Every structure is written in structure tokens, then in C-alpha cells.
Structure 1
Amino acid sequence: MIELKHLRTLTKLRDTGSLTATATALHLTQSALSHQLKDLEVRIGGTLFFRKTKPVKFTAEGDIFLALADEILPKIAKSEHDVASLKEDLNGRLHMAIECHSCFQWLMPALKEYQVSWPSVVLDFSSGFSFEPLPALVAGELDLVITSDIQPRSEVHYEPLFDFEMKLIMSTSHPLANREQILPEDLSDQTMISYPVPKQRLDVVKHFLQPAGVEPNKWKKADNTLMLVQMVSAGLGVAALPNWAISEFSRQGLIVSKPLGEGLWRRLFAAVRHSEHDRRYLQAFFSTAKIESKSHLDDIKMA
């Protein structure tokens, strides 16, 4: 029976053109190489190549086995690579940064579900507010960034997760609570409450206020969503939050939400290194995140 080592030997003989060079490349003695080739010729009952030709010329039988080697060996190499990649995926690392505090409302259930199927993947995350996450992603310090802010780079792949609407929230007694929609100029005399990030990174600034040349009267910071909503409910200011983050508070009557203009819609992405975006454990995370976020948004619509 022909073996893989025979096919590899024949391709190496074709590549080098001589028995001496082939023996050196395969780390064999010339005697061992000659014995291997003679053994194969006995098995097939024919001659593989013409002796004493430079470079080596193959017989018809030799050409048949070379064609077989060209078909089989790449498939073997691909299978070995796929198995190695699978093992690497099963023991991968998913160190992520989240550029929105409110993402935790759907992300934590998604991570819990993800760990059921991928228990060996090491999960860790940081808020992404104390540093620039994309350079850290490219440098290999992070593996994934949840963001709505695309900064085109050839090294980064942006996987779309879902669309969401940013809304302005205010207390139930706020003067803007009776408006059908909020215009940029309506916020010029307001106190805006936001997460502790540079305001230039906020969607409401980049895509609503800044294009209209409007700057709120004052800014305040809140460390988390619950604190932010409580401050808004107490009449200490207004804030812009994604629709998924405010539905429960609206149902409780703590706040009122209004669309920003005709509706400020954004898309959330999972940014990963382009060279790794097809890894199985990343594709599985994309799928789980999309399913969990859809379930969360469907619950909001039904409420």
C-alpha cells in the first residue's frame, strides 16, 4: 500500500531533481532513500523514474503518483491546519472593551450563553473609557471592541450586530417632555448628563449637536446607567441613551423619552482584527450577540 511518505518523497524528488538533494532535504541517507523508492516500485510493480537522468525524469507510473500527491498532500495539509486552528479556537482568548455602559444590559446575558458552548475561551473585558480601544485592538492587547464608531482601518474588521435609536430622556415634569421630537437648539440651555467619556466620542454630540453647531449649557457625568437615570429623573439634567437602555425606566414612569430630530439611528459593531475575524470562537460570539440583542430588542417592542 502506498503511504503519505512515498508521495512526499516523490514530490521532493521532482522539486530537487536529484536523489542526493532529495536525501538531504528529507534528512535521509541515500541508501535509505533508494530503499524507500525501490520498496514503492516493488509494491506497484513498475518503475517510477529513469535512473541516471539529470534532472530526474519520471515514468508514466511516476507521473500518476505525482498527480495523486498534488491532489492529496494539499488536502492533508489543510486538514492539519484546520484541526490545529480548531484546537486554538477552543482555547482562545476574548479580551474585549465596551464603548458603552448600557451595552451590559444585553451583553452579559449574551456572554453567559456564549460560555455554555465555548467554556474554554478566556473572557475578560474593560470599559474602554480610560484608553483608546482600537489601537489596543490592533496591537493585540484587546481581541474585540463593542462600538458604534467606525474608524476605517485595513487591520480592523467591523461585524454589524444590530441597529438602535438614541433618544433623549428627561424627567416627567421637564418642559421638553411635551415635545413630539427634540431639535438640537432645544438643548442649548440644558444640562446634559453623560457617561465619563470625552464628549467628542458621544453619538449625540457627533451626529446631532455638532453638525448643528449647538453646545449644551452645562455637562455633568454619571458613572453608570442607573445613576444617570436617577439624576435625570430628579430633574438634574437630560441625557441621550440607546432605546434598549431606557425601556424599563420608562415603564416605571421615572423618565420620558423623545426622539432626537427625525430619529438618531446608529449601528453597533463588534470590531476585531481582520486577520482573525473568521475564527470559529469569534464567529460564534457574533452569532450569540446578534441573537441575544434581537431577543432584548423584541422584548422592548412587545412591552
Structure 2
Amino acid sequence: MGVQFSQVFPPSPNFTSDNIPNQTGKVILITGAASGIGFELAKILYRKGAKVYIAGRSEKKARTAIENIQRDVPQADGKLVFLQLDLDDLTTIKATVETFREKESKLDILFNNAGVSQPPVGSVSKQGIELQLATNCLGPFLLTRLLRPLLENTAKIAEPGSVRVVWTSSQVVEFSAPPEGMIMSQLTGPPQDPVVNYTNSKLGSHFLAVEMARRDGEKGIISIAHNPGAANTNLLRNAPWMKFFSSPLLHSPVLAAHTLLFAGLSPEINVENHIDAYVIPWGRIHPGVANNIKQAIERCENGGSGKAKEFWEFCDERTRDYA
């Protein structure tokens, strides 16, 4: 339980903005950066000179976030750009990527940071898919899939190990995932339990990170999942009772942003170790995920259950018509 306790009460971050070089020339896309952890990460990277795309549904909220960052960091050399993105509507994501590609010829880091937690029972996406699965997995999967050619081209000219895709999981997975890791039938027949569906979506995000690492590691793209840490954000806006009872354990979004910073830029993560690496607060490599998750991640030919591969194929099939 030691590693679990240390994720609830993490040590101070050792990898901060002081550890990273100037990011001028880097193009970084952060989903859900209008508030919370993504906002704080965008502020750090903007201060270091990066061109940061704040991707989300609400242009008004994004513009306000951009104004607030520019006010707080008046001397920065970076750039902040809004990008319209609606992760729960698969029909719109291709247009988002086309808009991005009209503006940029490279992409150094994609932070799949946006997410939804425990919406009202029965909430679904525009395509009628359970909302957490759609927003936390299918939308990011399709976005990443459509951006992969740009990531691959960037990796050919960038410093080795610098082109990355960062996926957001959660500590709840290690506490709540069933012995088999994931019950695949719950993807097409979701239970009337938003916590179970949230757990599936966050484990799914971890699965996607691992499977992308296997597929694209040789192309120079690092793919890695992380538990950002329990931060006081609006993620739990749909479960106010849970936020109330957990409030003594919630930390500043600034601290949680260091988890993402580590996943996105730390040299401790490289093309040799990213398949097995998983980042925990506030920027450390997990010494070893729970056995049921490890078993689900391993492919059948290596003695595992192959659930991660199966989940990737599920996402591929569900998003194929929108690519």
C-alpha cells in the first residue's frame, strides 16, 4: 500500500519548469486546458516559450483562460491559440484536426487531458455512447489517430524521445478495477453506475497509451499514461458529494500539472521504457502497477489476457467511420 499512499500524499515535485529548457519552437496541444490542471500546464509551457493550443468546446472559456495566462505571465515568449474541439461528438474531430493542420506542420506533444467524471446516469455522447467512455477514450483515440501522421513527421526531425502523447488515467483504477482488469461487455452494455463506467474509461486510457507505445514506439513517438493526482478542479462537478468528502485530500492543480509536465518532458521516459512506464504524482515512474492491470496489459502471447489490445481494437472499430 506504500505506493498507493504516496499517490494520495505525494512528495514535492522534483521535475519542475526549472528542469526543462526553453520550449521556443515547440508546438503543444492540450485538451481541456481552459481550467484546472490543463490550464496550469499551459501556463508553465507558455512561460517557457512554447506555442500552446488550448483545445476545448467553449471558445469563451478558452479566450478567458488565454487572457488570464497572459495577464499572469506578461513577459513570456510563448503563444496561446484556441482550437475548437468537442470530444463527445466524433463527427467533429476530423474537422478539428484539419483546422490544426492548416495552421501547423508539426506537433511535438499532445496532452489528452480533458475528461468527464460521473455525469448523471444515462448520459451519452452525440453518437449515443456512454459519455465517459466517449469523452475519455473514443474522442481522444480518434483525435490521436488523426494526428499521428503529424506526430510521425515531427519525430523524424525532432530530438529523439521528445515527441509524445500523454494519456490521462486515474488512481481509482488501481482501487476499483475488477480482477480481470476490464469486463469488456460493459463497454457495449454500460451498467447504471457512473463510478464503474468512469473506472472503465480511465483504465481504457491506460490501455490506449500502452498499445500506442507498442505500435508507434519504433516511429519515435512516446506514448504514456499517468495518474495526475487528486486535484481540486471541476472534474467532480457532477459528484459534489464526493468532492465534499474528498476535499481534505485534494491538492492544488498546480501540483498536478507537474505530473503531466514530467510525462511530457522528462528524460527519464524514453523510447526504451515508455511501454512499461506509468507516471504518478507529482512526476515519478510507478514502481509497478497492480497485478490485475499488468495482466490485462500483457498480450495473450506473453501470458496476459490481452485486454489492452482488445480495447484498442474496440476503439478502432467504433471510430473508424469518423476518420
Highest Rg: 1 or 2? 1
User: Which structure shows the higher strand fraction?
Assistant: 1
